[in-house]
Structure 1
Amino acid sequence: MSIRDENLVKSLSGALERAGIATEEPVFEVSHCGGRLDCLMHVSSPSGHRRLAIELLRQAYPRDVRDAAWQLENFHKDNSKARDIILMVAAEHLSNGAKADLRRHGLAYFEANGTFYLRHEEWLIDIERPSKPTLRRGIVPLFTGAREQVIFALLYAHNSFQSGLALAELSKTSTYTVSTVLAELERREWIASEGSGRTLRRKVSHPAELLDAWVDAWREQKAPKTKWYFYLSDANDLIGQLADKLRAAGTNGAIFTGSAAANLVVPHLTRTDTVDLIVPPGEAHRYAASLGLKSAEKGANVTLIERTGASTLFTNEHGLTGSRCANPFILYLDLLDGKGRNKELAAQLRQYQLNM
């Protein structure tokens, strides 16, 4: 038994003690006719004595917890006359889908962050805390570099099945990268398939869940940002004037994002007097010079964000302003920065543009 598993069980014991349930020393790797149980723990409270039959996991997704449930059921069959056994999965991280499956099958669960669900006769513990997956060997990080572009392509085309080659073309990545991402999403059971062999096509089966996972990863990304001031001849047309300057300078590659760009897509009747502009990494000062911007930490009305990759995919030209705007998915992610009424605007965008 590893140190990680021992520490996870200690955390579980502490959580039980705080809930008024006394614990005895756990027994690890308990053999039975159907195989081997990871951990057996005797617990008691004024309501009675119970045994927790526990399977221990690290990163747990629906497929993982189904395997664990099978192991627990085998243990239960070997103790079919015992009414004091509570079946439980304990993990360093449980996905939302895994937790939903465990509840649906009446299994208790514990997560290292303190999330705890146990329902058995007169016992009820239901604690939900925000969880953040920890990376381990064998888990493919999905929201980095080219893999993030594949995620975006899948969400962009979430209503239709796509071949691996089509996804590579959409995401501007290699078929190897697409295959890597699809394999990880299949492991997490977020992919639906049709056909086989050369006719195999796939699409996201739970796009809203995948988008929420991208939101969590996006918040952790720290792209370089610099603040600038742009002199306006018309205070109501900041994007239009900047777009004119970009065309006049022959500067390609800049993409409008944030609340000003989102208001062009979903008019929210909220005045925005600042603009966020995505530019290639390392080129903020070149763009600032082309646009005639002045560095200004205070009173700034333009933010240059140095990003590439997914941010540059599926952009849209806005006819009235002549501006190149980020795709609504990127706009949505950028609006979740907590500024002003951005969260409200993001909700509008998700409902009416993303339909998720």
Structure 2
Amino acid sequence: MSDELCAALASATNGQIVSRRAEIAFDRNLRLNLLLTLRVGEYSAEVAVETVRNAYPRDVQAAIWRLNEYQISSRERMTAIPLVAAESLSPGARDMLRKRGIGYFERNGNLYLNHGSWLVNIEKPQPEVAKRGVTSLFSEAREMVVHALLVNRHKWLTGGELAEISHTSQYTCSVVLQELERREWSESSGSGRTLRRRLSKPRALLDDWAEHWKKRRNERTRWYCFVDQPKRMLSRLTDEIDKAGLSFPWAFTGTSAANIYAPLLTSTDTTEIVVPHRSGKDLAMALGLKPAEKGANVTLIERDGTSLQFRDLHPNYPSSYFVSPFILYLDLLDGRGRNKELAESVLTRLDL
């Protein structure tokens, strides 16, 4: 990575790296990973570099401490420019370094340097390869833990309690909680058997989930249901489902469900229903729906996992199940019609 860093510094400043030294011992027990001398015109500056891999705020703390120790180890070193070089940095880690006045470089070409009259701020899209080593929070089981944490965002929970609420294993909960701790999106209290954790940045977690949710592909089928009064569609569909006595769970989502949870539109004329995988045709038959690629007013979405987790009843629709507000918000991010406005309305209601 040192070659890429040197090339990036030279290019961004129209200068050149005139010396490069690795593993500089400056204390009996302390070493600096890399020391560069950057020359721009007649001006030369030392760049003190600490390297890390894929880093979150807690991972860069030690690097910041070593850079500070290097600077204060002698009067001459106080003028050295501190910089952290990494495979990739989380947004929180980049923000922390900026606030501490420390530059950073990422392998994808991101470079930030604010020193004297120099201000370099190069930002590039983060490639997928740079995300290796970072734990994904959104596999099927982990999503269930994420969902449970968002629903119970104000509660302190043990790992066992979280596993019971999310219907997952304690191991899966532990993986998710460790990753959230790395990202500094959770807080903890106690230790050992009394250790409890609480989500401290639910909006950050929801935003990250939304980015992954928008990339997924759902199995959707479109149908037509005749109703003489569109505003009674949900009630009619619910009545038919009750009569059918179906054995699998289901829940309303999308525009019509959002307009009930967070009223915004004067009326809606389409309905979306989430059902388990391979249950769409059974529900369509029970409701007497007709296939309709054009003019459809009912969409059946087949999904397993967390989509039907924490579904709920609405007081004005006592027999109708609705997806949780978090799944509802995620489903509204499809950009259709006025769903963007409805998503903001749901988000306001969630009060994150």
Give the TM-score of the pair, scaled to structure 2. 0.88
More displaced stretch, 125-134 vs 175-184: 125-134
Query: 1:265: how far off?
Result: 0.4
Residue number in structure 1 paired with 2:304: 308
Give the SS at the match of 2:331.
Answer: helix
Which of 322, 326, 329 is the equivalent residue of 1:329? 326
CA contact (8 A) 1:135 1:141 kept: no
* Contact 2:18–2:39 (CA under 8 A) maintained in structure 1: no
1:297 alignment counterpart: 293
Q: In structure 2, give the amino acid aligned to 1:120.
A: H
Change (3 A) 1:339 1:43: farther
Q: Deviations over 1:114-135 (max 9, x none)?
A: 4432110101123445546644
The 1:239–1:130 alpha-carbon spacing in structure 2 relative to 1, beyond 3 Å, is farther
Query: Does the alignment pair 1:21 with 2:14?
Result: yes
State the shift of 1:334 in Å.
1.2
The residue aligned with 1:209 is 204
- Give the root-mean-square deviation of aligned CA atoms: 2.5
C-alpha distance after superposition, 1:193-228 (max 9, x if no partner): 222333222101222212222122222322322222
Q: 2:33 aligns with which of 28, 31, 38?
A: 38
Higher mean alpha-carbon deviation, 127-136 vs 84-93, is at 127-136
**In the alignment, what sits opposite 1:48?**
43
Q: Distance in 2 between matches of 1:311 and 1:178?
A: 18
SS at match of 2:76: coil
CA distance in 2, matches of 1:167, 1:126: 41
Contact 2:252-2:323 within 8 A present in 1 as well: yes
Match of 1:319 in 2: 315
| Secondary structure, counterpart of 1:323 in structure 2 | strand
The answer (yes or no) to whether the contact 2:10–2:17 under 8 Å persists in 1 is: no
Corresponding residue for 1:339? 336
- Matched with 1:280 is 276
Structure 2: gaps of 5 or more residues: none
1:76 is displaced (CA, Å) by: 2.9
What SS does structure 1 have at the residue aligned with 2:37?
A: strand
Residues 59 and 93 in structure 1, CA contact (< 8 A), matched pair in contact too? yes
**Residue 249 of structure 2 corresponds to which residue in structure 1?**
253
Sort the Cα spacing of 1:239 and 1:90 in 2 relative to 1 into closer, same or farther, 3 A. farther
Native 8 Å contact 1:28 1:37 kept in 2: no
Judged with a 3 Å threshold, the aligned counterparts in structure 2 of structure 1 residues 318 and 22 are, in CA distance, closer, same or farther, namely same
CA contact (8 A) 2:24 2:34 kept: no
Listed as ranges, the matches of 1:79-94 within 5 Å are 80-82=75-77, 84-94=79-89
The separation in 2 between residues aligned to 1:243 and 1:14, in whole angstroms, is: 64
Give the secondary-structure state (helix, strand or coil) at the position aligned to 2:214.
Answer: helix
Partner of 1:143: 138
Residue deviations 1:226-279, cap 9 Å, x none? 222222232223322222222122224111111211111000125332222111
Identity of paired residues, percent? 44
Distance 1:295 1:323, change over 3 A: same
Contact 1:47 1:122 in 2 (8 A): no
TM value normalised by structure 1: 0.88
* Structure 2 match to 1:355: 351
Residue matched to 2:118: 123
Q: Work out whether residues 35 and 47 of structure 2, in 8 Å CA contact, stay in contact via their aligned partners in 1.
A: yes
Matched, 1:219 2:214: yes
**2-side partners of 1:263 and 1:347: how far apart?**
12
In 1: Cα distance, 2:9 partner to 2:232 partner: 60
Q: What is the match of residue 104 of structure 1?
A: 99
SS in 1 for 2:153: coil
Letter in 1 for 2:313: E
Give the residue type in structure 1 aligned to 2:336.
Answer: K
Q: 1:232 aligns with which of 221, 227, 231?
A: 227
Q: In the alignment, residue 300 of structure 2 is paired with which amino acid? A: L
Which deviates further from its counterpart, 324-333 or 309-318? Answer: 309-318
Confirm or deny: 8 A CA contact 2:16 2:40 kept in the other structure: no
SS of alignment partner, residue 119 of structure 2: strand
Displacement after TM superposition at 1:349 (Å): 1.2
Number of aligned residues: 347
Question: Equivalents in 2 of 1:46, 1:90: separation in Å?
Answer: 24
Of the three residues 134, 150, 157, the one matched with 2:152 is: 157
Q: Distance in 1 between matches of 2:300 and 2:167?
A: 24
- Post-superposition shift, 1:172? 1.1
What is the distance in 2 between the residues matched to 1:323 and 1:17?
63
